[in-house]
Structures are given as structure tokens and as C-alpha cells.
Amino acid sequence: MGNNILVTGGAGFIGSNFLRDRLFNASDDIFVNVDAITYAGNLENLKEISEKENYIFEKANIEDELKIEDICKKYKINGIINFAAESHVDRSISNSKPFINTNVLGTLNLLEISRKLEIENYLQVSTDEVYGSLGETGAFTENSQIQPNSPYSASKASADHLVHSFGHTYGMNVKITRCSNNYGPYQFPEKLIPLMINNALENKDLPVYGDGKNVRDWLYVSDHCDAIWEVFNNGSSGEVYNIGGNCEKQNIEIVELLLEMLDKPKSLIKYVKDRPGHDERYAIDNKKITSELNWEPKINFTDGIKMTLDWYLQNKSWSDNVRSGAYLDFYKKWYGGLEK
């Protein structure tokens, strides 16, 4: 008999990929997707699974403790995977309050509900950004010092500390995953790769912060989803697991590669003023998850970036709808009044 799993933020980029992956694998588990449908949440990402018997959608915000508790009781939830988050660094610099409300207070609500209802399994999806910035060498391990440098990463670090504290204080079965930069289909167009693809297709400037030499470790989204599922089912309680792709790239490398793949000129690149407090380099040491849980990334970057580009080329209407807000009409027709 399967589990009844609450997936928060399941209409976002990583959450929707996770739900499609799990439901296409004919899981016996029931997945209840709770999403507030903010600007980055898109139910169109889940059209292919919307009619599956073991998939349920509930529009709710994790900041609404009473409603989330009612949903957990209604569906007899015994596991939670928390994807729900405000995640764009630039937006956190402009206005940090939504990041505290969702990422910190929302997580606190989920933990309090888990404790009250004795939910058996809680997984917090976090980020390598909580570790801060690296020099030219080395990689983040699970024991690296937490040194967040943006309001976004500070909110995620705060949530991680709350999760750890609830596990330590109340004996709850909690786990934390910290991933490197994800890429793949259905990513909101404000993020680097889809932004550059869309702008290049329209012959618009490709804005690159500073000198473009900031380094990130890149992980194809389906590999991340597989790792999350492995940790949720088999990870040790109270543990943190780093999830990385073993693929460090400078931002400018990514931009130039996409231009080459699209046969567009480098003259489209426009260097702009650097983001305040921009971290220089992230790199993940994923030895713990590979040795303890036998997970490793399957998709190399060459294949992953090609699949990603192909998806955006074949689904340009999706990007256009997301950027124009036209998908909101789709929500209203599909679910009949999500604007409430």
C-alpha cells in the first residue's frame, strides 16, 4: 500500500517535474499538490497528469496553517515534500518580505502541522546557496559553514535551521536536500537558461551580470527529482544531502553555448551592472548521496542542454503564455475560479 504525500509548490518548475516523473512511473502513492499559484506556479505544467486517479490538486498557500492542516487531515497525509518557495535572488533583493513569509514562516507552518498530526516523513528541498560563495577551488559538503549572502539564501538557510531543530527537539523524521542550479523543461523564463533562449530567439539583448564569470554547478531537473525521491524514501532522519551535477560552468559559457546552438551572434550579449552581493562560485560535493543512497546524475550537460533547448523550441507558446500571463485564463477555465 502506498503513501499519501503532500507536495507543496508542485506547480512550479522543480515540483511539476517531480510530480510528472512520479506519476508517469505508475506509483501506488497518492500525491496531493498544494500550490498558491503565484506568478511562477503554472498548472499548465501538469496537464498530462491532471486526470490521474492518484493525483489531487488543492489551491492553498503554505502560509495558511489552518487550510494546510485541513488538507492534511482530509487526505490522511503521512509524508510532506516541501518545494514551495520564493526562489529568485533578484526579486529577494528588491523585496525580501515575501521570501521570509513563504520560505521561513510557511516552512514553520508545515513543521508545526507535521508535529501536531504526527506526519511520518518530512523532506525540505533547499539550495546550495545557503553555503555562500566559494573561492576558485573546493566544493560544498554537508558540513560546510552556512553563510547565506542574499535575502533569498538567508530565508532558505533559516528554514533549514527550523527543519533541523524540529528533528532534534521533537524527534521528527526530517531530511534536507541542497541542490545545485537546476535546468530543464518548464523553468520560469526569469531564470538564466530560459531567459537567454527566449531573448535569443527574439533577437533581444542577452543581459549578463558583471563579467559573466560567476560559476555554477548545473544539474538536469529529472536527476534532481530522482535524488529527492531517493532521500525521501531511504535517507537517514536528521541528515542533509547535497545534490550536484558535477558540472561547473561560467555563466558566460552557458550564454555563448546557447547562442552557438541557436546560430545567433555573440553581439546579442550585453554586460550589465552586477547583482549586489553576487556569489562568485558554487560547487557541490555529492559523495554522501552517491555513497549512501547509490544515486548519481544520469544526464550529462551536453545531452541535458540539448534536450532543454529542444523543449523550449517545441513549446514556445508555453513561454509566451507564461510571460504574458495568458495562462491565468487557462487556470480559470480548467479549475473554475482559481482567482478566489
| 202-239 confidence digits (pLDDT tens) | 999 999 999 999 999 999 999 999 999 999 999 999 99
What's the mean per-residue pLDDT of the chain? 92
> b/e map of 160-194 (b: 16 or more CB within 10 Å)?
bebbbebbeeeebbbbbbbbbbbbbbbbbbebbbb
| 229-243 confidence digits (pLDDT tens) | 999 999 999 999 999
Torsion angle of C-alpha atoms 224, 227, 232, 235, degrees rounded to 10:
-140
Ordered domains of the chain (ranges, CATH)? 4-182+221-244+283-298+325-335 (3.40.50.720)
Under 8 Å between Cβ of 59 and 33: no
What pLDDT was estimated at residue 332?
A: 45
Instruction: Taking the CA atoms of 17, 21, 22 and 26 in sequence, report the sign of the dihedral they define.
Output: positive
Average pLDDT over residues 100-106: 97
Q: Alpha-carbon distance 169 to 114, whole Å?
A: 13
Average pLDDT over residues 304-312: 97
Residues carrying an active site annotation = 128-129, 152
What pLDDT was estimated at residue 24?
A: 87
| 230-280 confidence digits (pLDDT tens) | 999 999 999 999 999 999 999 999 999 999 999 999 999 999 998 888 989
Q: Alpha-carbon distance 122 to 79, whole Å?
A: 6
- 242 has which bridge partners? 178
Average pLDDT over residues 84-100: 90
Beta carbons within 8 Å of 307's beta carbon, 6+ residues apart: 184, 185, 220, 299
Question: Does the pLDDT value for residue 80 go beyond 60?
Answer: yes
Report pTM: 0.92
| 171-184 confidence digits (pLDDT tens) | 999 999 999 999 99
User: What 3 state SS string does the chain have?
Assistant: CCCEEEEECCCCHHHHHHHHHHHHCCCCCEEEEEECCCCCCCHHHHHHHCCCCCEEEEECCCCCHHHHHHHHHHCCCCEEEECCCCCCHHHHHHCCHHHHHHHHHHHHHHHHHHHHHCCCEEEEEEEHHHHCCCCCCCCECCCCCCCCCCHHHHHHHHHHHHHHHHHHHHCCCEEEEEECEEECCCCCCCCHHHHHHHHHHCCCCEEEECCCCCEEEEEEHHHHHHHHHHHHHHCCCCCEEEECCCCEEEHHHHHHHHHHHHCCCHHHEEEECCCCCCCCECCECCHHHHHHHCCCCCCCHHHHHHHHHHHHHHCHHHHHHHHHCCHHHHHHHHHCCCCC
What pLDDT was estimated at residue 222?
A: 97
